[in-house]
Structure 1
Amino acid sequence: MTHDTKTPKPRQRNAVATRDRILKIASKEFAAHGYDGARIDAIVARCKISKNLVYHYFDSKEALFIEVMERAYGAMRERQNELALTGEDPVRDMRELVEKTVQHFIDQPEFHQLLSTENLHKAVHIRKSKVISEMFNPLRTALSTILESGKQKGVFRRDADWVDLYVSISGLGSYFITNRYTLSYVLDVDLGAADRQQSRLRHASDMVISYLCDRSAEAA
């Protein structure tokens, strides 16, 4: 009797695990030292593998960095997939989207460091990715859909633009993380404290909803 089911070979499983470990450690290296400062030798040492093995999976340092960025954007997409949008209440939907986005920023501080180094390079690396734009599309669609729903129901101001809105959400959710050490010192607070982070979640969503529901500003 023959069986059609094939069991994955141990070597294949090990290859996936090794590749995943390289990406995780490379992400930390790029986040800590930037693209220019990151060293393949440091990644190799922390992975405890040979340099040849790194170049077996990734053609170059740039190729490795692009996949690190794809992994980072992929994590954001996974958080977006957690959204439970009903379409019936645009205010509730928008609050959830804002809070999920800000929570992701809180949970993934390395993401901001990776974005910082990529902005220094004017997005030259992610432009070479074939998947990052597609990863961002669900968030763009969700945001524009909720915004349009709120406009149609007469809840949100009609002059609101989804691009401006996303930039504002990103600013509200990321600035207190990227500048948490200097701000914590000059403001004499611990912006990394759990209660402060929860307060920031509510504040960010309140700010966005206050703007969107301010219909009095439409005439102006």
Structure 2
Amino acid sequence: MPKVSNVAKRAGSQARKTSAGRTGTSHARDAEATQKRILAAAKKEFAMNGLAGARVDIIAEKAEANKRMIYHYFGGKEALFERVLEDAYADICRAEQSLKLDHLDPKAALETLVRFTWQYYLDNPEFLTLVNNENLQKAVHLHGSKVLPVISRNRLDMVESLLARGEKAGIFRPGIDAMQLNITIAAVGYYYITNRFTGSIIFDCDFMASGMLRKRLAFNIDTIVRTVCK
């Protein structure tokens, strides 16, 4: 048999390494894609049926995966729900950061944040449903979260910075609590939307009609501006 040169051996070895590297990269991409599909399917399933009513086999089917993959990647339904919650909070935090409020006049920045929060709730009803469900569970899935404290700190830092700029400019009242303001901005939009069905009956009007939504947003902005501005 002809001898194989050292050059040929090195070339063959390198080719095998390259092939293995490509295979490893492909597997990593497949795993990442599978996890994303599972999380997307889980978000919809949890939002629709809550933690108790959600079924892992339905999540697997919608994600084009199997139950074994869910347990492999996330450890089970409870852990998957925790991850979905963390991702939901991270998503709204990233969206808030993208507003770049520091580049706006303090009053305009405040109005932008109120308007954004309202629209985010309208565009992402799953977020409200997931939060409601976790409150029914007494937030047991978020107690040990290492992600949520970081997210919360980033959100508070953003509001504290906005308040400090407005106070320095002589526009905002001094001593406003950033956490309380954050809660109030969320509450004036959150309550209206989550109670839209009962509210529509009680007040005999369609809470989700375009005219009503515009009136509510204007009221929200006016409420927060009056609370914060001098």
What band does the TM-score fall into relative to the shorter chain? 0.7 to 0.9
Identity of aligned residues (%): 37
- Which has the bigger relative contact order, CA under 8 A and spacing at least 6? 1
Contact between 1:87 and 1:146, CA under 8 Å: does it hold in 2? Answer: no
Q: How does 1:121-140 map onto structure 2 within 5 Å? A: 121-140=137-156
Q: Return the alpha-carbon distance in structure 2 between the equivalents of residues 14 and 188 of structure 1.
A: 51
* Cα distance in 1, alignment partners of residues 104 and 47 from structure 2: 40
Deviations 1:183-217 (A, max 9, x none): 2233333333344334433321211001112x4xx
Unaligned runs of 5+ in 1: 216-220
Match of 1:56 among 61, 72, 78: 72
- After superposition, the C-alpha distances for 1:46-84 in whole angstroms (9 at most, x for unaligned) are 334321121121112121011101110121022112213
- 1:30 maps to 46
Give the match's secondary structure for 2:143. helix
Q: Give ranges in structure 2 of 5+ residues lacking alignment.
A: 1-10
Structure (1 or 2) with the larger CA radius of gyration: 2
Q: Match for 2:127: what amino acid?
A: F
CA contact (8 A) 1:151 1:157 kept: yes
Q: Could you tell me the TM-score, scaled by structure 2's length?
A: 0.82
C-alpha distance in 1, partners of 2:62/2:99? 36
Equivalent pair of 2:107/2:225 in contact (CA under 8 Å): yes
Structure 2 CA distance for aligned equivalents of residues 12 and 190 of structure 1: 48
What is the SS of the residue equivalent to 1:130? Answer: coil
- TM-score for both structures, normalised by structure 1: 0.85
**Structure with more of its chain in helix, by fraction:** 2
1:181 aligns with 2:214: no
Structure 1 distance, partners of 2:155, 2:205, is 32
Indicate conservation of the 8 Å contact 1:69/1:114, yes or no. Answer: yes
Could you tell me whether the CA contact under 8 Å between 1:80 and 1:138 is conserved in 2?
no
Name the counterpart of 2:134: 118
Tell me the SS of whatever aligns to 1:14: helix
Aligned partner of 1:21 in structure 2 is 37
